[in-house]
């Protein structure tokens, strides 16, 4: 099994490589043949010379009219196609006002985000630059480093013009990523907890792993998100009558962010004479005025 087969079609790498699109099935066109029974030759033979002359004259007239009609239609078709090509060329000239942005160099690290970045940026670069299909892989080779460059030198450089982008990215992934790549992503997911990260950073890290693993059920996502939160956030979620077995992912994540904001509010209480407590945001001048009035 190759590493590329471990990529889920609905993951962001799978989608970028077009793995989520259904393969086009080649329809077998059955040509309807004429019956194998050949008509009797005697039926085709003319009955007299006069009929043969009239039929030949009619056929010559019809063939000449057909030729003129076909020539006129072909002329119109060529004019229409030339106009379409001219419009396309004009549209390309007007659209390409920005210079294509080259991709970030890829060094062959087994990092799904780095590979995805090179894949998307590299594809956009050669397409926006209107590079010929057979030269696209050769152009992208200038942005390969390290292990990725070794793959190109050994496998592609012999004849780079026969390689197409999809095959190139597939073989590059197989070369740079381990065969148990998806299993390692699952292990990484099991070790992912909030710890010192913010709620948003924690959710982002989980989403990255889910996008790479692909096809994770919604309820499993909610449970994993809940159990990875800090204990104080889990406690507050229960107080809000949320439940990992019934609440939605959006409900839990939104509530967790609000709880985090509430916990970040500074508590600097001051004790007033007589045991009263002021608002924590009360200015010092107001506090002094209150103290003076109470003492008098």
Give the predicted TM-score (pTM) of the model: 0.60
Instruction: Give the pLDDT confidence score for residue 33 in this predicted structure.
Output: 46
pLDDT above 50: residue 236? yes
How many beta carbons lie within 10 A of that of residue 100, not counting itself?
A: 15
* pLDDT (0 to 100) of residue 28: 53
231-251: average pLDDT = 96
- On whether the CB atoms of residues 18 and 118 are closer than 8 A, the answer is no
Q: What is the mean pLDDT of residues 23-49?
A: 46
The answer on pLDDT for 7 being more than 50 is yes
Position 18 pLDDT exceeds 60:
yes
The residue behind tokens 């609905």 is 10
pLDDT digits (tens, 9 = 90+) for 65-121: 555 556 666 677 777 777 777 777 666 655 557 899 999 999 999 998 999 999 999
- Rounded to whole angstroms, the Cα distance separating 35 from 68 reads 32
Residue 184 has pLDDT above 60, yes or no: yes
Q: What is the CB neighbour count within 10 angstroms for residue 176? A: 22
* Predicted local distance difference test score (pLDDT) of residue 141: 97
Give 17 or 169, the one with higher predicted confidence.
169
Average pLDDT, the chain: 79
Residue 237 has pLDDT above 70, yes or no: yes
| Residue 271, pLDDT above cutoff 90 | no
pLDDT tens sequence across 142-155: 999 999 999 999 99
CA-only gyration radius of the chain, Å: 36
SS3 144: strand
């Amino acid at each position: 099994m190759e590493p590329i087969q471990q990529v889920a079609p609905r993951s962001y790498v799978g989608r970028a490589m077009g793995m989520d699109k259904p393969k086009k099935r080649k329809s077998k066109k059955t040509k309807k043949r004429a019956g194998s029974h050949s008509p009797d030759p005697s039926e085709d033979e003319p009955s007299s010379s006069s009929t043969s002359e009239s039929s030949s004259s009619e056929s010559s007239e019809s063939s000449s009219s057909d030729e003129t009609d076909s020539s006129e239609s072909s002329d119109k078709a060529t004019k229409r196609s030339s106009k379409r090509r001219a419009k396309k060329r004009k549209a390309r000239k007007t659209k390409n006002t920005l210079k294509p942005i080259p991709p970030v160099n890829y060094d062959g690290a087994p990092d799904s985000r780095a590979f995805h970045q090179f894949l998307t940026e590299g594809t956009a670069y050669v397409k926006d630059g209107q590079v010929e299909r057979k030269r696209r892989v050769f152009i992208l080779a200038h942005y390969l480093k390290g292990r990725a460059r070794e793959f190109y030198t050994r496998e592609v450089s012999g004849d780079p013009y026969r390689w197409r982008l999809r095959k190139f990215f597939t073989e590059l992934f197989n070369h740079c990523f381990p065969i148990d790549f998806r299993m390692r992503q699952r292990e990484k997911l099991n070790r992912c907890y909030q710890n010192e990260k913010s709620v948003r950073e924690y959710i982002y890290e989980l989403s990255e792993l889910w996008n790479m693993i692909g096809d994770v059920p919604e309820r499993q996502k909610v449970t994993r998100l809940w159990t990875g939160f800090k204990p104080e956030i889990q406690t507050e979620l229960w107080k809000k009558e949320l439940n990992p077995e019934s609440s939605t992912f959006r409900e839990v994540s939104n509530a967790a962010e609000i709880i985090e904001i509430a916990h970040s509010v500074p508590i600097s209480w001051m004790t007033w004479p007589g045991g009263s407590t002021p608002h924590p945001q009360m200015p010092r001048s107001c506090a002094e005025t209150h103290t003076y009035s109470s003492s008098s």
